[in-house]
């Protein structure tokens, strides 16, 4: 999980603290315990609640408290949707399990706190990274194989255009992207008969390793009828960007990406099909990074890599 900052302690009598204690009374020995609050950076207010002396904690996301750019949404509907996504996923893979929800507390969604080391920590050190990528590939494979649905190619493209909209691209720049997307639309590379539910937010921080098991976090953006390579492309984009931007060389990412895709694939033919579709979804992952303002040189690097991926369909 990303960085956390201690922001306060809740005492008995605090309404939210008392609701949590009541909700999890079977897990607690002392119902008068204080609760430490740690804030976690996110697109909504997200906090970890540590019950002092209990060796137990939870994470709550408050959907009615947006902190990012998207504020035009139904908070209760979003809370209910992620709760449902988590319930589906927990029957298939290890995740931060959904524990409770309450619209009265700014649409709070409460999940299990999984303490461990995130995938991005292994990417930075490269220590044991191949094994960790194998575990994530197998987790995604189980999720995709067990949530088969109709494939909606049009939804994939609509979501790509939404990313471009969020970036505010106009004029000839947007026209260039539209042209590149048109090449992909008319290509057979993305055609398939079946889709699946995808994690969608396949950022390395959302894969936590605990006792040699991998847990997936945050299913707010998960959706069905998607192309399974979407998740693979986002992970590959993160690897490409990390090694390319941090001066280790973008080519340093290639063996890791190949290893990740190979351990997801069931055959050589499928591996080939995945690599054909991968550049499109790597571009999605790269452009999603570019939505957030950072160093101009870093954003320029991400844009260049995204365009290079899209040109693969020529």
Which tens digits make up the pLDDT trace of 158-176?
999 999 988 887 889 899 9
Q: Is residue 25 within 8 Å of 34, Cβ to Cβ?
A: no
pLDDT of residue 300: 87
Say what the pLDDT of residue 9 is: 98
pLDDT at 186 over 80: yes
pLDDT digits 0-9 by tens, 106-148:
999 999 999 999 999 999 999 999 999 999 999 999 999 999 9
**Element (DSSP H or E) covering residue 163:** helix 153-167
Tokens of 65: 């408290």
pLDDT band at residue 2 under the 50/70/90 scheme: low
> Is residue 245 very low, low, confident or very high in pLDDT (cuts 50, 70, 90)?
confident
Q: What is the mean pLDDT of the chain?
A: 94
Q: CA dist 246 to 124, 127, 217, Å?
A: 10, 17, 26
Cβ–Cβ under 8 Å, residues 44 and 68: yes
pLDDT band for position 14 (cuts 50, 70, 90) = very high
Q: Give yes or no for residue 251 having a pLDDT over 90.
A: no
pLDDT of residue 70 exceeding 60, the answer is yes
If one compares 56 and 290, the residue with the highest pLDDT of the two is 56
CA distance 125 to 242: 12
Q: What pLDDT does 293 receive?
A: 56
Q: What's the CA gap between 93 and 79, in Å, rounded?
A: 21
- On the question of pLDDT at 71 being above 90, the answer is no
Say what the pLDDT of residue 1 is: 56
Whether the predicted pLDDT of 304 surpasses 70: yes
Contacts of 12 (CB under 8 A, 6+ apart): 18, 21, 32, 34
The pLDDT confidence band at residue 50, using thresholds 50, 70 and 90, is: very high
Sheet containing 223-226: which strands, arranged edge to edge? 149-150, 194-198, 223-226
Quick: pLDDT tens for 152-161: 999 999 999 9
The pLDDT value given to residue 19: 98
**Cα 307 to Cα 214: distance, rounded to the nearest angstrom:** 32
Mean pLDDT over 23-32 rounds to 95
How far apart are the C-alpha atoms of 106 and 14, rounded to whole Å? Answer: 15
Q: Which pair of tokens denotes residue 94?
A: 């290890």
Structure confidence at residue 191 (pLDDT):
96
Q: What's the mean pLDDT in 227-238? A: 98
Residue 294's pLDDT is 62
Residues 6+ apart with CB under 8 A from 303: 286, 287, 290
What is the spatial distance between Cα 109 and Cα 49, in angstroms, rounded to a whole number?
Answer: 13
What per-residue confidence (pLDDT) applies to 179? 95
- Percent of the chain at pLDDT > 70 equals 97
Q: Which residues contact 43 (CB under 8 A, 6 or more apart)?
A: 66, 67, 68, 70
51 has a pLDDT exceeding 90: yes
């Amino acid at each position: 999980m990303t960085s956390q900052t201690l922001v306060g302690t809740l005492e008995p009598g605090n309404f939210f603290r008392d609701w949590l204690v009541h909700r999890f009374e079977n897990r607690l020995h002392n119902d008068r315990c204080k609760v430490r609050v740690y804030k976690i950076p996110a697109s909504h207010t997200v906090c970890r609640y540590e019950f002092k002396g209990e060796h137990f904690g939870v994470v709550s996301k408050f959907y009615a408290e947006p902190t990012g750019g998207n504020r035009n949404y139904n908070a209760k509907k979003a809370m209910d949707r992620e709760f449902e996504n988590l319930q589906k996923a927990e029957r298939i893979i290890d995740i931060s399990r959904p524990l409770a929800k309450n619209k009265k507390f700014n649409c709070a969604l409460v999940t299990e706190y999984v303490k461990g080391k995130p995938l991005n920590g292994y990417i930075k050190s490269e220590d044991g990274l191949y094994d960790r990528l194998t575990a994530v590939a197998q987790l995604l494979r189980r999720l995709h194989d067990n949530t088969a649905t109709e494939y909606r190619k049009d939804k994939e493209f609509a979501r790509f255009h939404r990313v471009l909209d969020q970036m505010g691209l106009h004029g000839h720049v947007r026209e260039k992207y539209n042209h590149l997307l048109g090449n992909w639309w008319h290509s057979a590379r993305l055609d398939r008969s079946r889709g699946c539910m995808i994690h969608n937010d396949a950022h390395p921080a959302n894969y936590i390793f605990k006792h040699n098991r991998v847990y997936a976090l945050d299913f707010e953006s998960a959706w069905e009828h998607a192309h399974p390579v979407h998740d693979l492309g986002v992970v590959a984009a993160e690897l490409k960007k990390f090694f390319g931007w941090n001066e280790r060389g973008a080519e340093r990412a290639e063996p890791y990406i190949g290893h990740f895709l190979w351990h997801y694939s069931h055959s050589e033919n499928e591996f080939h099909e995945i690599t054909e579709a991968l550049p499109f979804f790597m571009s999605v992952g790269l452009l999603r990074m570019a939505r957030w303002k950072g160093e101009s040189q870093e954003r320029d690097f991400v844009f260049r890599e995204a365009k290079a991926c899209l040109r693969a369909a020529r």
